Structure 1
């Protein structure tokens, strides 16, 4: 059990001094895991006996047992951090390797021939990826219209044609509120490219063409985790470079 959970479970037994001591420990876990009971008492400006009573209220026999537990908590968090970093490096490598083995010729042709190109990101981070894709392709005078929300997507559905191109950027590929709209476009034979994390998802089965990335979860704390979108920006850059290569090859013919 995490220290925060342990404190919450015994909160009714704690007095003001206990809360003061435990508040300091929570904010300085690494440092406190190395302090003796006398040193902790000094920095908290309480007696040695008060420290002992506090840890006993949490269910520990004494301060030594609590200190071992605290060191274990610190080491556990360190292992989580190292594991997340290794996984992140691994995802970058696997994404680059997968993209290197992907044939971009058909997708590059779709981008080149499309009369209009629409890009939709299903969330806040995905919209940033969409905006970056738009910015990147401006260098070669390809103009991407970034769709700002599901309402705008539904409106565009009424006018988009087979001569246009729709790119959907999603993390899971299972965003329910847009799937009906995407299915309707697929029935109309609108070219659709999905960009999602690797794995089976509803969006990739509907789209004509799929691009994938490996996405890992970054553990900031034990109970706070975020998805890292760096591989999406790598995919953006690779897509742009592959498009340039496609144009150079076709223009030479």
Structure 2
């Protein structure tokens, strides 16, 4: 589990001072991993006890264990020159992320739901949603796709806390999604977020988060490349676990 994932998991426990320390650590991981607790506290203009309390909130035994974790995280990754190698690494990292996911809990939520919706926040995300709809149909579970913000607002009044929504988002910080996620929480409607592994607001708001790894890269001419293969893998993994849960 990476620091960003830990932050999302414990986000509701943090105060303003905690977030200030975490922001510093995220921006200076390598440096922070070499600091004593007093040095980190000084760099963040806070107290030693504040840093110590934060490590406890993140479920570390103490600062020493947190420091070892940061050293592991700050190890420089090998520079990959080929797009295919980056994709291979992303797929391997995604499989590790998925291995830490409680799919039995997610399957139980899906089985208990009156209706299942899936919402993709862009063209590629909607392709993922369409494939998810097809795979769910194979196990006799029928899913409604929400295609855009207007469709969400149209459907929302008829949704209840017996429904569940799967939201697919590359960044997890799409501005249009966040008010909708808050509306779902306010109405007691659970949703499962599928996002890139980073500290993001959608995962923080989600009662159940699935993480993938999709590293940004670019062609020699500067065109951006973002792979959605890890998202398809996550969706298929979710549905295969769901099928096993149903014993079909």
Report TM bin, short chain. Answer: 0.5 to 0.7
After TM superposition, the structure 1 = structure 2 runs for residues 94-133 of structure 1, keeping only pairs within 5 Å, are: 94-133=93-132
Instruction: Specify the alignment match of 1:226 in structure 2.
Output: 225
Deviates more, 1:168-177 or 1:84-93: 84-93
Which stretch shifts more, 208-217 or 219-228? 219-228
Q: Which runs of 5+ in 2 are unaligned?
A: 1-78
1:190 corresponds to which residue? 189
Q: How does 1:21-170 map to 2 (within 5 A)?
A: 82-170=81-169
Aligned CA RMSD, in angstroms, stands at 1.6
How far does residue 84 in structure 1 lie from its aligned partner after superposition? 2.9
> Which of the pair is proportionally richer in helix?
1
Q: Give the conservation status (yes or no) of the 8 Å contact 1:81–1:220.
A: no
TM-score normalised to structure 2 length: 0.65
Quote how far apart the aligned CAs of 1:238 are: 0.7
Point out the structure with max Rg over C-alpha: 1
Number of positions where the alignment pairs a residue of Structure 1 with one of Structure 2? 170
Q: Deviations over 1:83-132 (max 9, x none)?
A: 43222111100111221232101110111121111111000000000000
SS for the counterpart of 2:81 is: helix
Shift of 1:152: 0.8
Cα distance, 1:81 vs. partner? 7.8
* Counterparts of 1:140 and 1:171, CA distance in 2: 26
Cα distance in 2 between the residues matched to 1:98 and 1:149 = 28
CA change 1:101–1:181 in 2 (3 A) is closer
Q: CA deviation at 1:240?
A: 1.2
CA–CA distance in 2 between the matches of 1:195 and 1:215?
12
Give 1:214's aligned residue: 213
Give 4+ residue runs of structure 1 displaced > 6 Å after superposition: none
d(CA) in 1 for partners of 2:218 and 2:80? 7
Partner of 1:120, secondary structure, is: strand
Contact 1:218-1:228 within 8 A present in 2 as well? no
**Contact 2:166–2:192 (CA under 8 A) maintained in structure 1:** yes
Structure 1 stretches lacking a partner, 5+ long = 1-79
